[in-house]
Amino acid sequence: MRMYLPKPFQRRTQCTVIVLMTLGMLCCRASVAAPVDFVTQIAPILQQHCVHCHNETRKSGELSLAFGKDLLSLEFVVPGEPENSHLIDTVTADAGERPSMPEEGSPLSEDQVTTIRQWIAEGAKWPEGFEVQPKPKADGSWWSLQQVADVPLPDVLPGGSSHPIDRFIQRRLKQEQLSPSPQADRRTLIRRLYYDLIGLPPTPEAVAAFVADPDPKAYENLVDQLLDSDHFGERWARHWLDIAHYADTHGFERDKLRDNAWRYRDYVIRAFNDDKPYDRFLREQIAGDLIAPDAPDSVIATGFLAAGPWDFVGQVEARSPILRRAARALDLDDMVTQVMTSTMAMTVNCARCHDHKLDPITQREYYQLTAVFAGLSRKDRVVSHAAQSDYESNKARLEKSIADLQTEITQLQGEGVDLADIVGGGNGYGSGKKGRGIDPRTGLVQESSVSSLGDVRSGHFSASDNPFVDGVFIPASLKTQISSTGVFVSELPNNSGNAWDAIRHGPVTSQFSSTLGSTDYNADGHSMIGLHANAGITFDLDAIRDALILGKPEATKTDGFEFSTTVGYGGRTVEPSAEFHILFDGELILRKRIGRNDVVHVSRAIPSSTRFLTLVSTDGGNGYGHDQVSFGDPRIRSVAATEIADQKREQIDRLRSQVSELELELKSLVAPPVFFGVAPQNPPAVHVLSRGDPESPGEAVSPGGLSWSKEPLEFGDATTSDKERRLAIADWIVDPQNPLTSRVIVNRLWHWHFGSGIVDTPSDFGFGGSLPTHPDLLDWLASELVRQKWSLKAIHRLIVTSQTYQQVSHRRAGAIPPGENDPAVIDVDNKLLWRMNGRRLEAEAVRDSVLAISGKLNAEMYGPGFRDFDYQEAYAPIYTYKTADSPELWRRSVYRFTVRTTPSSFMTALDCPDPANFTPKRNVTTTALQSLAMFNNDFMLRQSRYLADRIAAESDQVDNQIELAFQLVLVRSPSTKELQGARELVQQFGLLHLCRALLNANEFVNLD
């Protein structure tokens, strides 16, 4: 066998090997021989004859010849003394006898033994770190690595179909003395087509029309109609997202939200609906930001590279550089594995620690692939940097104009007492310390930054030593004391009972932004109270009035005063999340729910009798994460002291009007979309890692691809840019000469239509995978894809219009015709497709069908995913699932916000896959839990009720109701026996229970 070594050794020594081997044969007995080169002369002998049994994982005789240490420690070799080396004894024998080693295969030749003797005599030097690895079981001659053959169509058999696919299938069936099954009836076919192409059931009206359609092209017309449906992309995107192991959270220990991942999901849906050429589809997902940097779709496509899990702790929070390197190595492994398994069905990740045991992929090639993506990091990024620059420029211009106007208004109004300064321990006129706060649990001054608060007592009021602050509290869901005089309030909404940080003069700990609208209230010239939910503070207005009139004999405490502030949300959440409340003596003056883009300007007169001003923030009942409420420039002014002439009042009103106009313009600015993808930078050096350990780097490698044991395939060198690397690998993958790409995708389509691929391991076309059942058909389909300009819809149409696809799925009744074999004996697994395969609907198709049948399906497409859970911010976020019982939660399952570490129990019971893993082929299990979920899950109970209501609204006749229920759920009429049983069930228990029973039927969750 040929030596299978890392490519640098091969390149440096290729010519030398030939020369030395030739010279060795001619001159091995010469008195003076050239020094033995271990890499090119000894390692090939060990690889061919020894390491199969003597390696690091299989140490026959406790000896490994992968490295040199065992040869010395076990005294098989004595450097410089071949005559005393046991290794020579094992590979030689007396005349007529066989050497004891190797046990299998031919013995070493005389020249090979002489070479080993010379190597030992020269000191038995083994290059440091060099590993002799077993040769893989497959080489460059493996079937899937050969060029796609130009296969001619088989002849049409007598009485057979002329359809290209049927010619291949029926020829193979004839060879096995089998015949195809008859065509399924139209009711079966329309249900099969609907589910395969759009993932939804046909309506009774559609079924009736198709069954009665006399047009001989009715079936083909239906295929075209479904391929043109927008629902097609929703159905087939889900298949691709399985391969991309897409989800909307990071996974790992801190399964944080990915609020912007959905744009990639929408890209995939649109790509399938638009029939984007598959080669372009792949190129965009690998290098779309480089191919068309100003085309949003092309840029968003690279979300593919970031779709998998990401270790936030290891990549961001870990302080240990060792942990960071380990996390980064796993991150790059995920990218490489995703690209290569999804596009070429090669298990390259098996070569991370050593050469691939089964396929001709070296460890060096694995790290060359890693080098292609080494310059990428996962993060939220803008779609267009140019658009982002324009947006920021316009935003800055408007914000400056508004800030200037606000400053002018403040100067005209007079300053008054600054409540934020008071929170910071000041007198209201600038003596307070920015950043200082008051602990809402105790009323004590809090200097240091804190985060989540413990020992929280909701509803407990704590007095403050600050003369202007009566006290603080954490609001309870029911009755809460808000003043030292015993004022209570019971109008506050439910909240989580959790609290975060102190009430601050300035932003709270980890506040996302101090900018409200267009003004940064933490900047010079402004002030703010940071009030993270859930907390409240009550100011003593009597004390503040005293301060305002101090030194002003003409002023009195009965003069008019006003409170003004700008309230906003400092957290990340765009949708309204937290609530603020303003109260005078416990009476609610203003309450509003706000999110990231909301700003509320407040200006309220304070009655002279009012003693207390209370500010409260609550979390809105959905967890307190990010609920950072801010009160910007909170002031109390004496109206008498700041009365101004009508001219000034008119001037202020005019300025406020200008501010309002500018704020409307600012609000109308649309920020360029952000998506979770990859951000490129200069690629760092990449090294082969010994045993895959980031702490054991070996030789540096340049970016490259897989050579299948032929000439090395390189995409440049260490100086090659990220752009050149990714474009090179994208072009290599979609090159029509690549033997894998077209084969892999047509096989995936075949698998998703028939339940089993021509190759039954859709993501492994190597030695560890299955062999193709119809290799000629696979190559013909692969070639046809390229001939059809990489149109996937063309292949879909080809598959579903074949007679093979339209066969019944059950075994034919009656005796086997003379001259034919029994298919249940010859082909029990139906590999030859003498009938159609029955299949179970996936979890998403089941859920979507239930909604469609009940009449509750929300057909809204695209946009952020719906969240069928309550989210609670924590170190490891808490996802608590709830019943999807509102229109926004009734969208198709492809739009579900998918959580990695906390999956939906209902969907999991129906075999919805774990998005932490690549899923080329879904598990299909049958468990009691599935029946219980379909019968008793709250979602199913409510949808059964909606279905019963829908049916009852259409007819009040029991038999008509039963007929419609069967048509909606099972796409057929009930049999006489079924009608009788259903009638008894409805009359005794009601229509609801019939609906529950039908939705739990095997016939509903299975195709055919």
Cis amide bond preceding 522, omega within 30: no
Residues 369, 459: one domain?
no
Assess contact for 330 and 311: CB atoms under 8 A: yes
Instruction: Classify residue 190: in a domain, yes or no.
Output: yes
Residues 117, 192: one domain?
no
- 618 bridge partner residues: 579
Assess contact for 779 and 739: CB atoms under 8 A: no
Residues 714, 625: one domain?
no
Residues 59, 201: one domain?
no
- 592 bridge partner residues: 580
Last residue of a domain, one of 122, 141, 168: 122
Instruction: Classify residue 933: in a domain, yes or no.
Output: no
Question: What gap in Å lies between CA 210 and CA 442, rounded to an integer?
Answer: 73
Instruction: Classify residue 293: in a domain, yes or no.
Output: yes
How many domains in the chain?
Answer: 5
pLDDT, position 16: 37
The sign one gets for the Cα dihedral 257, 261, 262, 265 is: negative
pLDDT, position 30: 41
Give which of 103, 99, 96 is closest to 112, Cα–Cα. Answer: 99
Q: What is the DSSP letter of 183?
A: B
Question: What gap in Å lies between CA 967 and CA 884, rounded to an integer?
Answer: 25
Give which of 267, 6, 292, 243 is closest to 131, Cα–Cα. Answer: 6
Angle, CA of 48, 49 and 52, to the nearest 5°: 85
Could you tell me the CA-to-CA distances from 122 to 31, 75, 129, 316, 744 in Å, in that order?
14, 16, 19, 51, 51
Instruction: Please report which helix (H) or strand (E) contains residue 524, including its range.
Output: none
932-938, long-range: CB < 8 A, 24+ apart: 933/905, 933/906, 933/909, 934/846, 934/999, 934/1000, 934/1005, 935/996, 935/1000, 937/906, 938/883
Assess contact for 218 and 210: CB atoms under 8 A: yes
Q: Which two tokens stand for residue 318?
A: 């870990």
Could you tell me the CA-to-CA distances from 467 to 386, 460, 538, 547, 822 in Å, in that order?
53, 20, 12, 11, 96
Sequence-distant (6+) residues with CB within 8 A of 407 are: 525
Q: Which two tokens stand for residue 628?
A: 């950072």
Q: How many CA atoms lie within 13 A of 529 on its CB side?
A: 30
The sign one gets for the Cα dihedral 979, 984, 987, 992 is: negative
pLDDT, position 553: 57
Backbone angles phi, psi at 505, to 5 degrees: -85, 85
pLDDT, position 60: 87
Sequence-distant (6+) residues with CB within 8 A of 653 are: none
Give which of 407, 410, 436, 440 is closest to 421, Cα–Cα. Answer: 436
**Burial of 224 (C-beta count, 10 Å sphere; 0-12/13-18/19+):** middle
Residues 594, 446: one domain?
yes
pLDDT, position 549: 74
State the chain's maximal CA–CA distance in angstroms. 128
Question: What gap in Å lies between CA 983 and CA 994, rounded to an integer?
Answer: 9
- Work out the number of other CB atoms within 10 angstroms of the CB of residue 211: 13
Backbone angles phi, psi at 592, to 5 degrees: -155, 145
CATH number of the domain encompassing residue 540: 2.60.120.1060
| Alpha carbon distance, N-terminus to C-terminus of the chain | 51
Instruction: Classify residue 424: in a domain, yes or no.
Output: no
Instruction: Classify residue 746: in a domain, yes or no.
Output: no
Q: What is the DSSP letter of 690?
A: G
Residues 337, 211: one domain?
no
Could you tell me the CA-to-CA distances from 139 to 44, 53, 133, 135, 916 in Å, in that order?
16, 20, 14, 9, 31
Sequence-distant (6+) residues with CB within 8 A of 30 are: none
Residues 614, 709: one domain?
no
Question: What gap in Å lies between CA 526 and CA 520, rounded to an integer?
Answer: 8
Map tokens 């006003």 to a residue.
562
Assess contact for 617 and 645: CB atoms under 8 A: no
Instruction: Classify residue 82: in a domain, yes or no.
Output: yes
Structural domain span for residue 290: 277-383+678-738
Last residue of a domain, one of 711, 738, 765: 738
Instruction: Please report which helix (H) or strand (E) contains residue 558, including its range.
Output: none
Assess contact for 449 and 511: CB atoms under 8 A: no
- Work out the number of other CB atoms within 10 angstroms of the CB of residue 650: 11
pLDDT under 70: residue ranges of the chain? 1-33, 407, 410-415, 550-558, 640-647
Kindly report the length of the chain.
Answer: 1008
Give the three-state DSSP class for 807: strand
Backbone angles phi, psi at 707, to 5 degrees: -110, -10
Give the three-state DSSP class for 594: strand
CA Rg, the chain, in Å?
A: 37
Assess contact for 642 and 414: CB atoms under 8 A: yes
- pTM here? 0.77
Residues 722, 624: one domain?
no
Residues 478, 610: one domain?
yes
Map tokens 């001003």 to a residue.
613
Instruction: Classify residue 927: in a domain, yes or no.
Output: no
Q: Which two tokens stand for residue 578?
A: 């937290």
Q: How far is CA 969 from the centre of its chain?
A: 32
Sequence-distant (6+) residues with CB within 8 A of 119 are: 36, 38, 41, 42, 125
Assess contact for 779 and 184: CB atoms under 8 A: no
C-alpha torsion angle, residues 157, 162, 168, 174 (rounded to 10): -20
Residues 703, 627: one domain?
no
Residues 455, 576: one domain?
yes
Q: What is the DSSP letter of 277?
A: -
Give the three-state DSSP class for 286: helix
pLDDT, position 19: 36
- Work out the number of other CB atoms within 10 angstroms of the CB of residue 936: 11
Question: What gap in Å lies between CA 96 and CA 119, rounded to an integer?
Answer: 26
User: What is the 3 state secondary structure string of 419-487?
Assistant: HHHHHCCCCCCCCCCCCCEECCCCCCEECCCCCECCCCCCCCEEECCCCCEEEEECCCCCCEECCCCCC
Question: What gap in Å lies between CA 756 and CA 824, rounded to an integer?
Answer: 17
Q: Which two tokens stand for residue 197?
A: 């192409």
Q: Which two tokens stand for residue 432?
A: 């307070």
- 262 bridge partner residues: none
Instruction: Classify residue 761: in a domain, yes or no.
Output: no
Instruction: Please report which helix (H) or strand (E) contains residue 15, including its range.
Output: helix 7-27
How does pLDDT run across 297-318, given as a tens digit for each residue?
999 999 999 999 999 999 998 9
The DSSP annotation for 59-115 comes to: BGGG---SSSHHHHHTTS--TT-GGG-HHHHHH---TTS--SS-SSSPPPPHHHHHH
Residues 511, 621: one domain?
yes
